[in-house]
């Protein structure tokens, strides 16, 4: 058994029991834990990109009613490109995470 050190907190994470439980959890649920997360990231990224394309088309006067504040507004052209880039980044993170989890399962 491990001797207690007065300078360590009472709930020291390096204990044998915690390490054993953590190892069992990681080995049992590792491959199932990452699949829904990666699919969710990819789907969320696609939705973000889709919204960015809608904003971009509205700002270029190609989509939407002419009464919209985004219609023919160059500020929303920039916002649309930024939103598309953010969606692409979210998709890239999801794909990279998916490849990483497949490689390490």
Task: Tell me the per-residue pLDDT of 15-65, one tens digit each, with 9 for 90 and over.
Answer: 555 566 666 555 555 555 567 888 999 999 999 999 999 999 999 999 888
Rg of the Cα trace of the chain? 23
DSSP-based three-state secondary structure for 4 = coil
**Selected residue with higher pLDDT from 100 and 74:** 74
**CB of 69 within 8 A of CB of 56?**
no
Q: Over the chain, what is the mean pLDDT? A: 80
pLDDT category, 5, cuts 50, 70, 90? low
pLDDT given at position 15: 57
């Amino acid at each position: 058994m491990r001797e207690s050190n007065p300078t360590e907190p009472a709930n020291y994470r390096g204990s044998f029991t915690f390490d054993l439980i953590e190892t069992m959890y990681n080995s049992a649920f590792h491959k199932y834990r990452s699949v829904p997360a990666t699919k969710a990231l990819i789907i969320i990224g696609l939705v973000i990109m889709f919204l960015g394309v809608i904003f971009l088309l509205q700002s270029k006067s190609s989509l939407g009613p002419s009464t919209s504040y985004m219609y023919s507004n160059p500020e929303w052209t920039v916002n649309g490109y930024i939103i598309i880039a953010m969606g692409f980044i979210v998709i890239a993170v999801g794909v990279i995470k998916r490849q990483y989890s497949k490689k390490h399962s």
